[in-house]
Structure 1
């Protein structure tokens, strides 16, 4: 390997060739603006809007229903005191790995780990949006 060849570039450095880029200045890669959007040769930005769909994960469904009272059924394996426990409260927050509920009468907040959640029930209709579908599902009554 010659000393004029930067490590990893695969091409020798020379006039009009930035060190380490491996691509001549003004090469075939279209220029981009700082947002990452491609530009036409005249300098116009080409819009690349992609639809944004939130995936249907439990934390997203719970986030759509903050403020509603729910009952959360949890299982704790290998626990000598209690294997399963039921929590009821106002849904305050939901993250990827946790749920925060509060007791309206005492104000006490409880953090529940999502890994222990078996299922949850709510006594009122839930807001639910599946990716690509707008609106709420029809309310069914027994």
Structure 2
């Protein structure tokens, strides 16, 4: 016996649940839906510098996709002194903190800065970062827009 799930349009079976709970299926995912998900193969396409997808271009193995815009701006500014403003939810000691140092590198989810006076290095998570300032002009390469777009 199947019944329609609200909002999803997928049938829900009363029996045959997978044992991995999720928010939508707290007791597991119906096997029918699990099979549907396993049969679908994601089709990824490369991204332009703006983060937009290039339609119809397949990904080749080992090809790096640009997935973050801020990390690329930070990488263009390695060696500059920056100030990183971060907040930390539910922290009883400090809710917000300011880190200042030389930008060593940045990744999709982190920034590494070093304090030139102490030699101490900080690995800062992007998820806690509110904004970043620099005392000097930042290097920035604007994304190329598709032809005809201004």
Separation (CA, whole Å) in 2 of partners of 1:117 and 1:90:
16
Structure 1 residue 57: deviation in Å? 1.1
- Equivalent residue number for residue 140 of structure 2: 128
Aligned length: 84
RMSD of aligned Cα (Å): 2.0
Given candidates 49, 53, 66, the residue that maps to 2:49 is 53
- Equivalent residue number for residue 13 of structure 1: none
Structure 2: give runs of 5+ residues left out of the alignment. Answer: 1-45, 52-67, 146-150
Separation (CA, whole Å) in 1 of partners of 2:47 and 2:107:
23
Structure 1: give runs of 5+ residues left out of the alignment. Answer: 1-49, 134-142
SS of 1:60's partner is helix
Q: Which has the larger radius of gyration?
A: 1
TM-score (norm 1): 0.55
More helix by share: 2
**Is it true that 1:100 corresponds to 2:112 in the alignment?**
yes
SS of 2:130's partner is strand
Structure 1 residue 51: deviation in Å? 9.8
Separation (CA, whole Å) in 2 of partners of 1:88 and 1:61:
17
TM-score (norm 2): 0.52
Given candidates 92, 103, 112, the residue that maps to 1:80 is 92
